């Protein structure tokens, strides 16, 4: 929990909650019983992907959506209404009134589910509104100061900053003393953070009136964020710098709230509507995630553990964060292709790819961590993926191990700054050195990933690079490095409907102009884990292309078709033997010198 400030009851409080957000704990109580995410909160950000009309979804695969999956007339009535009801978005009031009168104590059934869900949402929203008003009064905050400000740093409006004369910025010594004594009272920190934000967002207009330097307010705010949310100072500053001042607070706040529980339908075993119906029958409250995916479902409530249903055990779905769908959607592997998942355990994305490839072609699911390949293998079996080969090499050994892939996914090892709500340890255990080491490893891996692609692939030639981190050194800096080192690779549109463009420049460093084609996803904007996705198209190297065309002219050789790019079995054998040697040595066993071993075979 770090040094996070506490309120009188010892509960962590959110600054945003004070001004606008219902406490997740309260929501949890209202929606009885289980491990609950918030129902997708309507984001005030326009690029939020969670759309209320996803029930109406025409789907995104061009195959006709629900209608393409199953004739709606063959569906049970309640499932039909679940997947077609357009009133959920328009808030039809007559319906809402009826929903309110639903017997709350009656068990949830498929027939009353939709109405109960709407009633709960309506009541939650109303209570949240009341809570917010009460809290606002108690804290004597003018919440309007915080709401709806897009880029507060650039606000040029000539507005007086109320109460600037009251702002007390402690000296560096006083701050150190505060820290030593376990941090100031939570209400002191909250008030100070609010005041710093209010002043900073109008700095150009009236900062001078404070008689203090802007950097003093920034320093104080960063220090208070660190103590309030329990981050180390280094990471607080690193994350703070990614956003305008007030948005940074939204980001830190969002990391305190769990993301929605989501599942991905395994289309190798079932269809989404059939899965939804089966889970509804078991008392699960769910709905499609959004129009951008035709396999995702968001689970609001369940009377049974969602990771232990018969459907789960028989591989009808994968418990998977919505953000994890994105790299695979971007990669878009095709049936019959040869694909490498370079860092694949525990296999969420591998199994998604297997489904998109309809169990054809071949996926090499690699992970350097042998122990983690066990859960990968288990998932591959549970989900019925028959086109997957699991292997365990350091990704940097590719393409020597094997190459010539139509597509490669590099879901790189990263700092996890996008998934702090799942792993709060990141707040305190990530140092500057970690980011430097990770960035270095990612740069090595991405070059190997590019070199593993067959540039002559007739159907592909693509690499997707992704991380669950929001830091620039693990994302734009890595992509920029790859573009500079491999002129035969260039960025293409990732084909994702939402997400913010990558940073074209950051803290004085400019990146390749095409970096805007990469996509960033944030918890406070998209209500999903922080994520980064970049898609490359790999072509032949200029030198290689020249050589190829010369050879072609000389011997009139045809272009090598992707199917013709075969393994060199002898070369594979060498690698297998070498890996065996290393494993034996790691176990402390004696191995024959290489030349003797070769002679023996």
Ligand X SMILES: C[S@@+](CC[C@H](N)C(=O)[O-])C[C@H]1O[C@@H](n2cnc3c(N)ncnc32)[C@H](O)[C@@H]1O
Interface residue with ligand X, options 65, 333, 347, 530 (CB under 6 A): 347
Interface residue with ligand X, options 367, 406, 480, 529 (CB under 6 A): 367
Q: How far is the CB of 416 from ligand X (least distance, A)?
A: 8
Which candidate, 263, 298, 303, 299, places its Cα nearest to that of 283?
A: 303
Which ranges constitute the DSSP H helices of 87-213?
A: 87-90, 93-100, 113-139, 172-180, 186-201, 203-206
Known binding residue 346? Answer is yes
**338-341/362-366 β-pairing:** parallel
Interface residue with ligand X, options 345, 390, 477, 533 (CB under 6 A): 345
| Core vs surface per residue 466-497: b (16+ CB within 10 A) or e | bbbbbbbbbbbbbbbbbbeebebbebeebebe
66 vs 24: CA distance, rounded Å: 32
**Residue 37 or residue 348: which is nearer to ligand X going by CB?**
348
372 is a site residue for ligand X (CB under 6 A): yes
Interface residue with ligand X, options 31, 198, 349, 526 (CB under 6 A): 349
**Residue 254 or residue 342: which is nearer to ligand X going by CB?**
342
Q: Annotate 17-85 with DSSP letters as a single string.
A: HHHT---HHHHHHHS-SS-PPPP----SSTT----GGGGG---SSSS-HHHHHS-GGGS-HHHHHHHH-
253 is a site residue for ligand X (CB under 6 A): no
Interface residue with ligand X, options 290, 296, 315, 348 (CB under 6 A): 348
Give the range of 31-39, 190-198, 292-300, 345-353 binding ligand X by CB under 6 A. Answer: 345-353
Known binding residue 349? Answer is yes
**489-492/531-538 β-pairing:** antiparallel
**Residue 23 or residue 421: which is nearer to ligand X going by CB?**
421
Retrieve residue 539's tokens. Answer: 């072509």
**Residue 225 or residue 424: which is nearer to ligand X going by CB?**
424
336 vs 315: CA distance, rounded Å: 22
Q: Which helix (H) or strand (E) holds 346?
A: none
| Core vs surface per residue 367-396: b (16+ CB within 10 A) or e | bbeeebbeebbebbebbbbebbebbbbbbe
146, 139 contact by CB (below 8 A): no
91 vs 537: CA distance, rounded Å: 44
375 is a site residue for ligand X (CB under 6 A): no
User: Omega into 375 within 30° of 0, i.e. cis?
Assistant: no
Known binding residue 411? Answer is yes
413 is a site residue for ligand X (CB under 6 A): yes
Known binding residue 345? Answer is yes
Known binding residue 392? Answer is no
**Residue 236 or residue 373: which is nearer to ligand X going by CB?**
373
529 is a site residue for ligand X (CB under 6 A): no
Binding to ligand X, residues 166-195 (CB under 6 A): none
Q: Is the dihedral of CA 209, 210, 216, 220 positive or negative?
A: negative
Known binding residue 233? Answer is no
422 is a site residue for ligand X (CB under 6 A): no
Q: How far is the CB of 443 from ligand X (least distance, A)?
A: 12
Known binding residue 423? Answer is no
Binding to ligand X, residues 254-283 (CB under 6 A): none
Give the range of 45-53, 229-237, 389-397, 558-566 binding ligand X by CB under 6 A. Answer: 389-397
508 vs 245: CA distance, rounded Å: 18
**Residue 49 or residue 347: which is nearer to ligand X going by CB?**
347
**Residue 413 or residue 523: which is nearer to ligand X going by CB?**
413
Give the range of 94-102, 366-374, 423-431, 476-484 binding ligand X by CB under 6 A. Answer: 366-374
Known binding residue 394? Answer is yes
259 vs 253: CA distance, rounded Å: 12
Interface residue with ligand X, options 65, 183, 230, 395 (CB under 6 A): 395
Interface residue with ligand X, options 210, 223, 302, 368 (CB under 6 A): 368
Binding to ligand X, residues 280-339 (CB under 6 A): 324
Length of the chain, in residues: 601
Q: How far is the CB of 409 from ligand X (least distance, A)?
A: 7
Give the range of 91-99, 282-290, 342-350, 542-550 binding ligand X by CB under 6 A. Answer: 342-350
Interface residue with ligand X, options 369, 510, 544, 547 (CB under 6 A): 369
| Core vs surface per residue 531-566: b (16+ CB within 10 A) or e | bbbbbbebbbbeeeeeebeeeeeeeeeeeeebeebe
Q: How far is the CB of 44 from ligand X (least distance, A)?
A: 30
Secondary structure percentages of the chain, helix, strand, coil, to 5: 45, 10, 40
**Residue 395 or residue 562: which is nearer to ligand X going by CB?**
395
- Total residues contacting ligand X by CB under 6 A comes to 18
User: Looking at residue 147, what DSSP letter applies?
Assistant: T
Retrieve residue 28's tokens. Answer: 């949890």
Q: Which helix (H) or strand (E) holds 322?
A: none
599 vs 576: CA distance, rounded Å: 16
Known binding residue 48? Answer is no
Which candidate, 266, 322, 269, 419, places its Cα nearest to that of 49?
A: 322
Any idea which residues carry the catalytic annotation?
Answer: 468
Give the range of 81-89, 161-169, 199-207, 344-352 binding ligand X by CB under 6 A. Answer: 344-352
Q: Please, which residues bridge with residue 69 across strands?
A: none
Whole-angstrom CA distances from 540 to 333, 564, 592 are 20, 17, 41
**Residue 395 or residue 404: which is nearer to ligand X going by CB?**
395
346 is a site residue for ligand X (CB under 6 A): yes
Q: Which helix (H) or strand (E) holds 448?
A: helix 432-451
Q: How far is the CB of 445 from ligand X (least distance, A)?
A: 6
75 vs 92: CA distance, rounded Å: 24
Give the range of 27-35, 145-153, 394-402, 572-580 binding ligand X by CB under 6 A. Answer: 394-402
Known binding residue 19? Answer is no
Give the range of 260-268, 305-313, 363-371, 514-522 binding ligand X by CB under 6 A. Answer: 363-371
194 vs 14: CA distance, rounded Å: 12
Interface residue with ligand X, options 178, 219, 394, 548 (CB under 6 A): 394
**Residue 81 or residue 387: which is nearer to ligand X going by CB?**
387
Q: How far is the CB of 418 from ligand X (least distance, A)?
A: 10
The binding site for S-adenosyl-L-methionine comprises 343-349, 367, 394, 411
Which residues here bind ligand X, judged by CB under 6 A?
A: 324, 342-349, 367-369, 372, 394-396, 411, 413
Annotated binding site: 343-349, 367, 394, 411
């Amino acid at each position: 929990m770090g040094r996070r400030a506490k309120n009188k009851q010892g509960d962590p409080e959110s600054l945003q909650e004070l001004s606008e957000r219902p406490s997740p704990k309260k929501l949890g109580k209202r929606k009885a019983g289980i491990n609950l995410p918030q129902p997708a909160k309507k984001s005030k950000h326009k690029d939020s992907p969670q759309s209320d009309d996803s029930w109406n979804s025409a789907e995104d695969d061009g195959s006709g959506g629900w209608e393409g999956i199953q004739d709606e007339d063959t569906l049970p009535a309640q499932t039909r209404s679940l997947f077609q009801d357009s009133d959920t978005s328009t808030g039809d009031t007559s319906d809402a009134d009826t929903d309110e009168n639903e017997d709350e104590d009656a068990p949830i059934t498929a027939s009353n589910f939709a109405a109960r869900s709407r009633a709960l949402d309506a009541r939650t929203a109303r209570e949240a509104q009341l809570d917010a008003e009460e809290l606002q009064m108690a804290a004597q905050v003018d919440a309007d100061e915080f709401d709806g400000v897009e880029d507060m740093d650039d606000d040029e409006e000539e507005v007086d900053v109320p109460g600037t004369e009251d702002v007390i910025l402690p000296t560096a010594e006083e701050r150190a003393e505060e820290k030593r004594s376990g941090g100031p009272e939570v209400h002191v920190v909250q008030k100070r953070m609010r005041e710093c934000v209010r002043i900073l967002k109008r700095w150009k207009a009236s900062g001078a009136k404070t008689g203090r330097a802007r950097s003093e307010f920034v320093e104080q705010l960063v220090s208070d964020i660190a103590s309030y949310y329990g981050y180390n100072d280094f990471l607080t500053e690193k994350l703070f710098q990614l956003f305008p001042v007030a948005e940074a607070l939204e980001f830190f706040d969002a990391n305190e709230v769990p993301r929605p529980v989501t599942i991905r339908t395994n289309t190798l075993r079932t269809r989404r509507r059939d899965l939804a119906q089966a889970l509804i029958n078991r008392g699960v409250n769910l709905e499609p995630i959004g129009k951008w995916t035709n396999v995702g479902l968001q689970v609001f409530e369940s009377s049974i553990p969602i990771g232990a249903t018969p459907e789960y055990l028989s591989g009808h779905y994968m418990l998977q964060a919505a953000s994890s769908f994105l790299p695979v959607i971007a990669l878009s592997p095709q049936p019959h292709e040869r694909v490498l998942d370079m860092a694949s355990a525990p296999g969420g994305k591998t199994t998604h790819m297997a489904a998109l490839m309809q169990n054809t072609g071949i996926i090499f699911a690699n992970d350097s961590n042998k122990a983690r390949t066990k859960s990968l293998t288990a998932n591959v079996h549970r989900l019925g993926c028959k086109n997957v080969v699991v292997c365990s090499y350091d990704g940097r050994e590719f393409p020597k191990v094997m190459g010539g892939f139509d597509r490669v996914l590099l879901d790189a090892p990263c700092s996890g700054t996008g998934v702090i709500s799942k792993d709060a340890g990141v707040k305190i255990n990530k140092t500057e050195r970690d980011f430097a080491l990770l960035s270095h490893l990612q740069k090595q891996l991405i070059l190997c990933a590019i070199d593993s692609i067959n540039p002559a692939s007739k159907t592909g030639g693509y690499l997707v690079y992704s991380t669950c981190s929001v830091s620039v050194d693990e994302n734009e800096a890595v992509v920029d490095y790859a573009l500079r080192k491999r002129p035969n690779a260039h960025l293409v549109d990732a084909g994702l409907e939402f997400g913010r463009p990558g940073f074209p420049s950051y803290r004085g460093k400019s990146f390749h102009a095409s970096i805007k084609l990469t996509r960033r996803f944030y918890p406070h904007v998209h209500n999903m884990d922080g994520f980064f996705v970049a898609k490359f198209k790999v072509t032949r190297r200029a030198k290689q292309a020249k050589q190829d065309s010369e050879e072609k002219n000389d011997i009139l050789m045809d272009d090598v078709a992707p199917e013709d790019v075969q393994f060199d079995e002898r070369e594979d054998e060498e690698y297998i033997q070498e890996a065996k040697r290393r494993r034996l040595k790691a176990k402390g066993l004696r191995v024959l010198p290489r030349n003797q071993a070769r002679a023996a075979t």
